[in-house]
Amino acid sequence: MEKYDPKAIETKWQRVWEDERAFYVPNPEPGAEPDDEFYMLEMLPYPSGNLHMGHVLNYTLGDVVTHFKRRQGLNVLRPMGYDSFGLPAENAAIKEGGHPREITERNIVSIERQMRRLGWAIDWDRVIAAHDPAYYRWTQWLFLKFFEKGLAFRKEAPVNWCPNDQTVLANEQVIDGRCERCGAEVEARKMEQWFFRITAYADALLDDHALLDWPDRTITIQRNWIGRSEGAELLFRIEELDVDLPVFTTRPDTVFGATFCVLAPEHPLVDRLVERSPNADELREYVRRSMAKRGEIRAAAEEKTGVFTGLYAINPATDEPIRIWVADYVLMEYGTGAIMAVPGHDERDGEYAKKFGLPVVTVIDEDRVLVNSGRFDGLPADEAKKAIVDWLGEQGRGRPAVSFRLRDWGFSRQRYWGCPIPIVYCEQCGIVPVPEADLPVLLPEVEDYRPKGKPPLASNDEWLHVPCPRCGGPGVREADTMDTFVDSSWYFLRYVDPHNDGAPFERWLVDFWLPVDQYVGGIDHATGHLLYSRFFVKVLNELGLLGFREPFQRLFHQGWVRQGGSKMSKSRGNVTAPDQLADMYGADAVRLYILFVGPADQDMDWTEEGIEGIGRFLRRLWRIVNEAAGATEGGDGGPLVRKAHETIAKVTDDIGRRFVFNTPIAAVMELVNELGRNPSAPGARFAAEAAVSLIQPYAPHIAEELWAQLGHERLWEQPWPVADEAQLERETFELVIQVNGKVRDRVEASVEESEEELIARAKQSPRVQAQLDGKEIRQAIVVPRKLVNLVV
């Protein structure tokens, strides 16, 4: 028997698979109907130079499912790509020199080598990269479709502005309110930006959760993020301005208790209020200061602030004049940017009223019934909501309304390394889309990636100034780039048709493969990528580009693999990179270990303690299977054969139904241990074959080699084993005998025995008799094929 040499075996089989194109998946012939196709997808990596253990967990898990489903006879699409635009490469270029493209492409080469080293079954013909013009051409094309529909648009919105670097910062670049690079305090600034109108899909995004087989917590996170609130919009008349001020409330039942109104400092009516206000100077100063503060700073304020405008609005329920205030605890982004304040029943309003000495009226008593509410007195609060809105509605002073917390998706980035936005600004024509025929708008070369008050792309004058596509007059290109989440909102569609240069994808191909049958990725994308992609698919569906409404049918979140910071890794020194670990123990050991160490959906602190044990297991497997290879075929029945069938059933159920990945490994270990104890028992060969076959999705290299030593070929395409029900059937079982719920004895019993016979046997047990000690048996519970419980 040769020694187990993981490196040699792994190189050998990886070459065989590549030569045979074992895991390349051709597209169907046109007209093919979806039947046995299965789309397995893991979130694509950002190509940093190195794989980390989180990647290894993510992609090994996907790999196990891929092999499992393939061997169950499904046609499995399992592609890979790179989310290759984005800040890290750009920051590296700024810091160390070089071009973000060179850095990115070097990293892609490196990360792909590491992926191949781990032996993942990937269709490398379908690789895509966000920064490849052949890809981002279609990102731009899709943008144009959204633009035509009015779903991509420009509007003014507050952004993070670093006064020192003269640039807009992404939220991720603001650390504790300061610029991550220079440390200057970041300001809020209003700028015109590009947005996707995701808010128009808020209800669809909520409703279609019903179509998904997703974890509850993810759906809950999305639901909270979208934040649908039902209530009413009520009109508070401001006579001095001759306008009706609309306010949104979820508590129209408390309108009789609305004793003042508050406007956000950004509210469009504020300017007009200032004009009329006796407090104009104070008000103007307050508005100026609040608007320079970012939202988080405002939210963190310990005490509420605000200024009385000196003007009044009419409460539509009481017809009483109430004071109008401007205060920054009211947010312009939510509802109408103005509220009716009900200090008696809203904590925040109450706090405010207390500070400024404003009147407080209680309108709901302890029985949740209305008081001080005129004709509505005595009505239960939940009934009053509708009644009051109806009543105000009849007078034209209110209507039912729904408010969302979800905001439109701002995707302008004043950065270099991203997808250019295909727009030209023309003095005559305004915002003009670049014609489809002129795509892609290639990312221009620039001298300096640092944004200096204008986006880096704008520093290339030659690129920036182009004739207007519509009138031919002087035009200026959009110099912002797109958020990288745009790139990743449709990549899963491109995989099915990655080389198409006439369209982003063929509709029949996406309709054939999608929705994704199993998606695997981190839960950190719950309110980002997973929401954006759903939005994209809904829009593309409406555009007739595809025939489904949801991209990801089933979703699984792998846990976080934490590294560093923990006691363990500090005391143990540096953490080894996955490919180094593969060189030390073999790829199979790394793959097994990351899945064996705990449940895949649970966070873990990375430790290398224990990978030795996997190494031992693989060497033992190698030895024991080699020995069993000499055993004769056949051997029906017997404990070893039964154990093998039980293991087949367990592993199949765990991966297929329960979607758990650590316990199948333990089950195969048990089988191998049993086989090791009985190397020449009947069925040894069968047990060895089962063990090898079952471990193949986890450790495909050693499995393939051992399969060959067992005299077979091409395990990767062998049908997944099926447990023989007949072999699982038992004639006898171990009867557990309990007295008052405590196990007292266990005896062998036949499955044929009746309840009475089992009870009789229980009573006969000497150990039971000792417990009974002459006491009267009041009841006997029998669980068929399991136990008898005697109650005394």
**Which residues are CB-contacts of 229 (< 8 A; sequence separation ≥ 6)?**
250, 402, 403, 404, 405
Amino acid at 598: G
User: Under rule CB under 7 A, which residues in 144-173 are in contact with RNA?
Assistant: none
Closest CA to 779 of 730, 741, 747, 750: 741
User: Under rule CB under 7 A, which residues in 41-100 are in contact with RNA?
Assistant: none
Q: What is the DSSP string of 670-737?
A: HHHHHHHHSTTSTTHHHHHHHHHHHHTTTSHHHHHHHHHHTT---GGGSPPP---HHHH--SEEEEEE
The correct pick among 2, 445, 448, 603 for binding RNA (CB under 7 A) is 603
Task: Please tell me whether residue 753 binds RNA under the rule CB under 7 A.
Answer: no
What ranges make up the beta strands (E) of 43-140? 75-77, 81-82, 128-129
Task: Please tell me whether residue 175 binds RNA under the rule CB under 7 A.
Answer: no
Alpha carbon distance 692, 700 (integer Å): 9
Q: How many residues bind RNA (CB under 7 A)?
A: 87
Task: Please tell me whether residue 596 binds RNA under the rule CB under 7 A.
Answer: yes
Alpha carbon distance 189, 169 (integer Å): 11
Q: How far is CA 335 from the centre of its chain?
A: 28
Between 111 and 332, whose beta carbon lies closer to RNA? 332
Min CB(568)–RNA separation in Å? 9
Task: Please tell me whether residue 787 binds RNA under the rule CB under 7 A.
Answer: yes
Instruction: Say which DSSP state 540 is in.
Output: H
User: Under rule CB under 7 A, which residues in 378-407 are in contact with RNA?
Assistant: 403, 405
For residue 206, how many other CB atoms are within 10 A of its CB?
Answer: 17
Task: Please tell me whether residue 712 binds RNA under the rule CB under 7 A.
Answer: no
Min CB(350)–RNA separation in Å? 11
DSSP collapsed to 3 states, 471-494? CCCEEEECCCEECHHHHCCCHHHH
Alpha carbon distance 78, 510 (integer Å): 14
The correct pick among 334, 425, 508, 548 for binding RNA (CB under 7 A) is 334
Residues 640-679 vs RNA: string with x where CB under 7 A? ----------x--x----x-x-xx-xx--xx--x--xx--
Contact 612, 85 (CB under 8 A): no
Between 95 and 657, whose beta carbon lies closer to RNA? 657
* Segment interacting with RNA, rule: CB under 7 A, options 108-116, 477-485, 531-539, 766-774: 766-774
The correct pick among 19, 216, 242, 731 for binding RNA (CB under 7 A) is 216
Paired with 42 in beta bridges are 520
Encode 335-351: b = buried (16+ Cβ within 10 Å), e = exposed: bbbbbbbbbbbbebbbe
Task: Please tell me whether residue 268 binds RNA under the rule CB under 7 A.
Answer: no
User: Under rule CB under 7 A, which residues in 281-310 are in contact with RNA?
Assistant: 295, 298-299, 301, 304
Contact 485, 536 (CB under 8 A): no
Task: Please tell me whether residue 598 binds RNA under the rule CB under 7 A.
Answer: yes
Task: Please tell me whether residue 318 binds RNA under the rule CB under 7 A.
Answer: no
Task: Please tell me whether residue 229 binds RNA under the rule CB under 7 A.
Answer: yes
Strands 518-521 and 37-42: parallel
The correct pick among 355, 368, 616, 775 for binding RNA (CB under 7 A) is 616
User: Under rule CB under 7 A, which residues in 500-539 are in contact with RNA?
Assistant: 523, 527
* Alpha-carbon separation of residue 605 from 415, 586, 609 (angstroms): 35, 21, 11
Task: Please tell me whether residue 789 binds RNA under the rule CB under 7 A.
Answer: yes
Which residue in the block uniquely carries the two structure tokens 């779903």?
151
The correct pick among 248, 490, 552, 716 for binding RNA (CB under 7 A) is 248
Min CB(552)–RNA separation in Å? 19
Between 35 and 216, whose beta carbon lies closer to RNA? 216
Q: In sequence order, which ranges of 193-322 are alpha helices (DSSP H)? A: 202-207, 216-226, 270-276, 280-292, 295-300
Strands 167-169 and 75-77: unpaired
Q: Tell how many helices (H) and how many strands (E) occur in the chain.
A: 28, 31
Task: Please tell me whether residue 330 binds RNA under the rule CB under 7 A.
Answer: yes
Q: In sequence order, which ranges of 395-489 are alpha helices (DSSP H)? A: 461-464, 484-487
User: Under rule CB under 7 A, which residues in 462-501 are in contact with RNA?
Assistant: none
For residue 172, how many other CB atoms are within 10 A of its CB?
Answer: 9
Min CB(353)–RNA separation in Å? 13
User: Under rule CB under 7 A, which residues in 677-696 are in contact with RNA?
Assistant: 677
Alpha carbon distance 97, 93 (integer Å): 5
Task: Please tell me whether residue 5 binds RNA under the rule CB under 7 A.
Answer: no
The correct pick among 27, 250, 279, 769 for binding RNA (CB under 7 A) is 250
User: Under rule CB under 7 A, which residues in 11-40 are in contact with RNA?
Assistant: none
User: Under rule CB under 7 A, which residues in 119-138 are in contact with RNA?
Assistant: none
Task: Please tell me whether residue 331 binds RNA under the rule CB under 7 A.
Answer: yes
The correct pick among 54, 337, 440, 721 for binding RNA (CB under 7 A) is 337
Between 282 and 646, whose beta carbon lies closer to RNA? 646
For residue 444, how many other CB atoms are within 10 A of its CB?
Answer: 18
Min CB(374)–RNA separation in Å? 20
Between 153 and 733, whose beta carbon lies closer to RNA? 733
The correct pick among 69, 71, 78, 251 for binding RNA (CB under 7 A) is 251
* Segment interacting with RNA, rule: CB under 7 A, options 30-38, 205-213, 245-253, 747-755: 245-253
The correct pick among 609, 725, 731, 773 for binding RNA (CB under 7 A) is 609
Alpha carbon distance 347, 337 (integer Å): 18
**187: helix, coil or strand?**
strand
Min CB(127)–RNA separation in Å? 31
Between 22 and 568, whose beta carbon lies closer to RNA? 568
Between 471 and 783, whose beta carbon lies closer to RNA? 783
Closest CA to 189 of 104, 294, 45, 114: 294
Min CB(333)–RNA separation in Å? 6
Min CB(221)–RNA separation in Å? 5
User: Under rule CB under 7 A, which residues in 732-751 are in contact with RNA?
Assistant: 733-734, 736, 738, 740-744, 746
Alpha carbon distance 246, 233 (integer Å): 6
The correct pick among 350, 393, 599, 638 for binding RNA (CB under 7 A) is 599
Min CB(5)–RNA separation in Å? 14
* Segment interacting with RNA, rule: CB under 7 A, options 145-153, 280-288, 427-435, 598-606: 598-606
Between 660 and 708, whose beta carbon lies closer to RNA? 660
